[in-house]
Amino acid sequence: MIYRFILTLASLLLPFCAFADSDYPPQVKSVVEQRCMVCHGCYDAPCQLKMDAWAGVPRGASKEVVYDGTRIRDAVPTRLFEDAQTVQQWRQKGFYPVLNEETPEQGLLARMLKLKQQHPLPREKLLPDTITLGLDRKQQCTKPEDFNAFADKYPLWGMPYGLPELNEEEHTTVIQWLNDGALGVPMVSPSAAELGAVQRWEAFFNGRSLKQQLTARYMYEHLFIGDLYFSDLESKSRYYNLVRSRTPPGQPIDIIATRRPYNSPGAARFYYRLQQQRSVALAKRHMPYPLNTQRMQRWQALFLDPNYEVTTLPPYGIDVAVNPFIAYRELPQSARYKFMLDEAHFTIMGYIKGPVCRGQIALNVIDDHFWIVFVKPNSKDSLLMAEFLANESDNMRLPKTKQGAVISLLEWRDYSKGQLKFLEAKTEFIARITAGPDGTKVNLDLIWDGDGYNDNSALTVFRHINSASVVKGLVGQQPKTAWVINYSLLERIHYLLVADFDVFGNVAHQLETRLYMDFLRMEGEQNFLFFLPEKDRIPLRNFWYRGATEETKNHVMTESVANSQKTDIHYLTDNPKRELLSMLQQRQPGGKAPRYQPADPRFSRLQTLQGKPFSLMPEVAFVEVLAKDNSANVFTILHNDSYSNNAQIFEEQKRRIPEEDYLTVVKGFIGAYPNVFFRLSEQNLDNFVEAIMSMRSETDYASLVTVYGVRRTNVPLFWPLSDRLNAQYKKNQPIEAGLFDLNRYENR
């Protein structure tokens, strides 16, 4: 009786209480992690039922879709822990309950789980057509009052949707918790050492001099998406987010929620705070960033110790705040660049993972596989470069936030002209600093070598249609394209695709972002072409942009620009691109990516060929290979799609060249969204490889999955294998690892 009274009282108070620092009970959390969070996390959680934090359950679900490529007006942001703090506030934003506080067993979540138990998946190879998959499928998002009609119409749509049901023990655990009110438990309190680290870092971020304030503002705009942790503590610390709060250190955080990190925090004084992260790490979103004593000393030396003066703090108005070359012109350019380069993997990961989570329109601007290196900072011309960037800030301006739904042709032409002017000025600038016997040489000395030890100096990006991955090292076969990124390009990529990108924005904002990113991709490719002999630049540009207009090609490199500067690298063969990429792979710290090598040599045949058989493979496949002693090795097979060019937004399939598709095979994991799991014994590995190479049709691929794959319908194997793969990732990469997402798992 007393227990029921407590539950009733809790249910009455819950709508008006802040979520505080609550978590799932331990026995429930393990089930929810492995069976619910693998689909219900980030902005692409079905029906916005975001279960990667306990607070997402009482918040409930919504019929509004976050990723809507046809949205005419900006949507109201619905970021958990930011845009509302109580259940009642979420109800006012249109979220409806998945719990029933009066009769818990009748709550929507409990009924969806029970529906799956009553109607498990048919024991067939493929799911029936009545179970629709795909990121853009029409979601029903039924409300509690409509559940009976929903269940009658879609009896196979219980949770977990399109996947095997929970086993009896798991089901009982979750249902009992729901029946008891789905209450959370207090999160484990930080240790004394961790609290001390929080205090030290909050003191660092909240210095009062103008130099300290401008430095902290710059860092916040680059770290707001990071999962910060204290790497120098003996025991692993939890993750924190850098936020702006109305309250000072030592008081509960009162977060200032703005659409973008550079928006004004208001007239009152605010503070940078480290807020304990309450969501579970998801591979598609997790971006760890270490804080330690060495880091603080490094930032002190870069930004605070040098003898320069900050005379004023820039305004938060859109004309200034969105342009870092204006807003932060009083911070040393070399310090800003080194700040980003020190953790370049994190910097680029913001573009790849960031707030996006998904989006083909955002990602079809890049190739499926390319390498990245960076221009060396702090060259003798750094002061000239800073002056050059300041003078060219107007031509490098980024799209401004707009409320309208239309991108005018005039605006686009304006951006295009500005970029061409900048490229012309950059060509002249390079010619000036390389002129004469004492000029800067265009050779490998211009490429940042990680100061001899930093493996952030070489990165590889893999695009998987509507998601992507970035890893350290130059991984896989030599790619078609490569980027050389300098400070101005790196800064613009961050502000365009991370600081300024709004997943709740309208179609004009999303389209304009995609179109402007074309310029930045082409600039990175142009920088790479400058290291090749003049005669090879235009032919290679033309190969990268087959079918593109001359105007588009000229944004990469014109004939005059191609001959404006000689390379000082001496090439020995008739394939200088291959030579250059080989030199970079040998030269850069971690360039050979030892973590991903060696893949089993029996996979080597898959990495030396290209063609249509490989076009049948999924984007990301995890392969568990069992040895005779029952130990297991995991490999990832990545499918790299080939296109004639990436200079157009639409009709992507018309630009596909499947004859040029190829695979990359690595040891361990790459990719947050596996499309299929394969499981085989070591003795069958040769047969598995041969089966892939001999594919000619979808029927052949279906046969491959039948013999070696684990389909969604494989009740005995699917969840145990999913659990093992997640566990192995966490064991091998405890800081980097997050739960894999199963929303893109195939039904083939």
Domain borders along the chain are: 2-186, 189-313, 356-593, 598-732
Mean pLDDT of the chain: 91
Q: How confident is the model at residue 381 (pLDDT cuts 50, 70, 90)?
A: low
- Whether the CB-CB separation of 378 and 338 falls below 8 Å is answered with yes
In sequence order, the 6+-apart residues with CB closer than 8 A to the CB of 5 are none
Using the structure block, give the residue that is written with the tokens 């990245």: 372
Cα first-last separation, the chain? 52
Say how far residue 29 (Cα) sits from the centre of its chain.
25
- Whether the CB-CB separation of 258 and 265 falls below 8 Å is answered with yes
74, 78, 252, 345 from 259: Cα distances, Å: 11, 10, 22, 25
pLDDT digits (tens, 9 = 90+) for 622-661: 999 999 999 999 999 999 999 999 988 778 889 999 999 9
Say how far residue 35 (Cα) sits from the centre of its chain.
22
pLDDT on residue 284: 93
- Identity of the amino acid at 294: Q
What is the side-by-side strand order in the sheet with 271-276?
271-276, 240-245, 227-230, 288-291
Cα gap 681→726, rounded to integer Å? 20
Nearest-10 crossing angle of helices 344-352, 333-342: 80
pLDDT on residue 254: 96
pLDDT on residue 334: 93
pLDDT on residue 2: 44
The length of the chain is 748
Q: For the chain, what percent of residues have pLDDT higher than 70? A: 93
Question: What is the mean predicted confidence (pLDDT) over 265-281?
Answer: 95
Question: Which backbone phi and psi does 22 adopt, to 5 degrees?
Answer: -105, 155
pLDDT digits (tens, 9 = 90+) for 103-143: 777 899 999 999 999 999 998 999 999 999 987 788 899 99
pLDDT digits (tens, 9 = 90+) for 177-227: 999 999 999 999 999 999 999 999 999 999 999 999 999 999 999 999 999
Q: Is the pLDDT of residue 403 over 70?
A: no
Say how far residue 502 (Cα) sits from the centre of its chain.
14
Q: Is the pLDDT of residue 443 over 50?
A: yes
Ramachandran quadrant class, 329 (left: phi over 0; alpha: psi -120 to 50; beta: rest): alpha
Question: What is the mean predicted confidence (pLDDT) over 1-5?
Answer: 44
pLDDT on residue 95: 97
> Which tokens in the block code for residue 369?
């596989």
pLDDT on residue 255: 96
The upper half-sphere exposure of residue 678, i.e. CA atoms within 13 Å in the direction of its Cβ, equals: 28
Say how far residue 313 (Cα) sits from the centre of its chain.
31
pLDDT on residue 59: 97
pLDDT on residue 9: 45
Q: Is the pLDDT of residue 407 over 70?
A: no
How would you class 717 by CB atoms within 10 Å of its CB: exposed for 0-12, middle for 13-18, buried for 19 or more? middle
Higher-pLDDT residue of 498, 405: 498
Q: How confident is the model at residue 14 (pLDDT cuts 50, 70, 90)?
A: low
Q: What is the pTM of this model?
A: 0.94
pLDDT on residue 102: 74
pLDDT on residue 409: 53
Which residue(s) pair with 469 in the sheet? 462
Question: What is the mean predicted confidence (pLDDT) over 375-397?
Answer: 72
- Whether the CB-CB separation of 641 and 656 falls below 8 Å is answered with yes
In sequence order, the 6+-apart residues with CB closer than 8 A to the CB of 110 are 100, 104, 175, 178, 179
Question: What is the mean predicted confidence (pLDDT) over 254-270?
Answer: 94
Q: Is the pLDDT of residue 415 over 90?
A: no
Lowest mean pLDDT among 351-360, 366-375, 424-433, 499-508: 351-360
DSSP 496: I
pLDDT on residue 44: 86
14, 34, 176, 705 from 183: Cα distances, Å: 10, 19, 11, 41
Q: How confident is the model at residue 234 (pLDDT cuts 50, 70, 90)?
A: confident
